[in-house]
Structure 1
Amino acid sequence: MFAGAQLSLYPMTDTFVDVILSSLDALDPWRDRLRIETDDISTLVVGPPEVLFPALRDLYASAASKGHHVVLRATLSRGCPGEPDDPICQTSALANPFEPLASRQQAALDALKSAPDTGQIADAQFSLYVMGAGDHMAEITGCIDFLRSSGTFDRSKNFCTRLTGDAGPVFATLQEAFCRFGPPNGHVTIDLTVSANSPSKR
């Protein structure tokens, strides 16, 4: 399987270079389990979901802790048919496709109980795309039902769902949405925006 995120970090400050470079240090504890490639537009982070999402959480929390308005934009994908399998992405985190939807929803909720707090608020919106064979709308609806009970659900918006809360539970919720819904051998993507310290909330 191939799994990863193409991400960009946007700090709204004249010192954006320092914010970006210092925030990248938060990835250091995860680097031995990820493949990271950066160019002038974005950073590709490849690895299993159980490593990928905590790494993104720590990157975001580090950037948010500087106090500036900062936005993390990411496209996450697993099982893309256009990408070769990568041994670094081996995982047991994906749900059993034969497990009933209700069981997967409950397992996702149970997993959130161990999500750590970071002390940084995350306001996020995302869209889940389930591709391939099967009833993709049943999977998306099942994910939305899970989100409503997650403790991080804020509201539904056009084309996406908004989450709000500490970055720990928010990114854990995103991880469960990514792993529990859609076929493990199918192509699943998430379009994600996470904002911190927005002046619109003052």
Structure 2
Amino acid sequence: MTEKPMNAVSNEAVDSCGCGCGREDLPWSGRGTDLPITGCRFSLYPMTDDFVSIILGALDKTDTSHVWCQSDALSTVYRGKREYVVDAVAALFANAWREGVHMALEGQISRGCPGDVSGDSVLSCEGEAPNASIVAAATQPALAKLSLYPLGVENYIDDIAKVWYRAEELGLNPTSIHYATRVEGSIRDIFAYFNDVCALMERTVSHYVLHFTINVNSPTDEEE
């Protein structure tokens, strides 16, 4: 009798995790949700000695009544309807902004993960986003890079092309850099673009991840 290698997977294994791997012993086995939950996990990095008050102050000032939120030592996550999640993240960055302070926010927005759960979200809210006025006033110049991952589709490059053209339409001067796309604009306009990217993905992609970094007041002197 030949023993099966320890890392072998039985053909009879039930694909309960929903990712096509056939494994039922993975941490996310049996999970997944059909609910319209968008999540964003992010970390804020103010390059100043006063970083504690800036981070905690921004978290406190941001209205999170329309999202589920949780912070730990590494990051913060907002979950709920996509437009309210983007509104809250944009407002947090706008609330953190300080004149002359180099600051970055790195995060990823995800929707449709087969390992997601139906809980830990707010989906009952309607109407205008609660931080709309704060975001609308966030006209400070910023730079951002983004990497988009449309998952589970063959012609993913077509979906990536859509968001490139959208950045051109919005006047964000998209530039291809290694492993990412760079855009330029105000805090308000860049987050509005992120919202558009997610809306475009929702039309054709069941699972996507948008990884981004947005930066203000960078000390780097770029050559013309």
Shift of 1:88: 2.3
Shift of 1:74: 0.3
1:49–1:175 contact (8 Å) kept in structure 2: yes
Q: Which residue of 1 aligns with 2:65?
A: 32
Counterpart residue identity of residue 6, structure 1:
R
Q: Which residue of 1 aligns with 2:74?
A: 41
Asked if 1:9 corresponds to 2:30, the answer is no
Shift of 1:44: 1.0
1:9-158 matches, cutoff 5 A: 9-28=44-63, 31-86=64-119, 88-89=122-123, 116-158=136-178
Asked if 1:196 corresponds to 2:220, the answer is no
Shift of 1:149: 1.8
Q: Among 162, 167, 181, which residue is 2:187 paired with?
A: 167
Identity within the alignment, %: 30
Question: Aligned equivalents of 2:153 and 2:107: distance in 1?
Answer: 25
1:125–1:193 contact (8 Å) kept in structure 2: yes
Uncovered stretches (5+) of structure 1, i.e. residues with no partner: 93-114
Between 1:177-186 and 1:167-176, the stretch displaced more is 177-186
List per-residue Cα deviations over 1:71-119 (Å, max 9, x = no partner). Answer: 1010110111100234624799xxxxxxxxxxxxxxxxxxxxxx83413
Larger radius of gyration between Structure 1 and Structure 2: 2
3-state SS of 2:139 partner: coil
List per-residue Cα deviations over 1:55-85 (Å, max 9, x = no partner). Answer: 1111111222353111101011011110023
Between 1:44-53 and 1:175-184, the stretch displaced more is 175-184
Counterpart residue identity of residue 71, structure 2:
T
Runs of 4+ in 1 over 2 A off after TM superposition: 85-92, 181-185
Between 1:160-169 and 1:129-138, the stretch displaced more is 129-138
List per-residue Cα deviations over 1:8-54 (Å, max 9, x = no partner). Answer: 001111111011111113322xx221111111011111121111112
3-state SS of 1:144 partner: helix
Question: Aligned equivalents of 2:150 and 2:217: distance in 1?
Answer: 31
Higher helix share: 1
Report the count of equivalent residues.
Answer: 178
3-state SS of 1:45 partner: strand
- TM-score, normalised to structure 2's length? 0.72
Shift of 1:184: 5.7
| Structure having greater relative contact order (Cα 8 Å, sep ≥ 6) | 1
Question: Aligned equivalents of 2:75 and 2:99: distance in 1?
Answer: 21
Cα-Cα RMSD? 2.3
Question: Aligned equivalents of 1:178 and 1:53: distance in 2?
Answer: 10
- TM-score, normalised to structure 1's length? 0.79
Relative distance call for 1:160 and 1:185 in structure 2 (3 A) is closer
Between 1:59-68 and 1:4-13, the stretch displaced more is 59-68
Shift of 1:173: 0.6
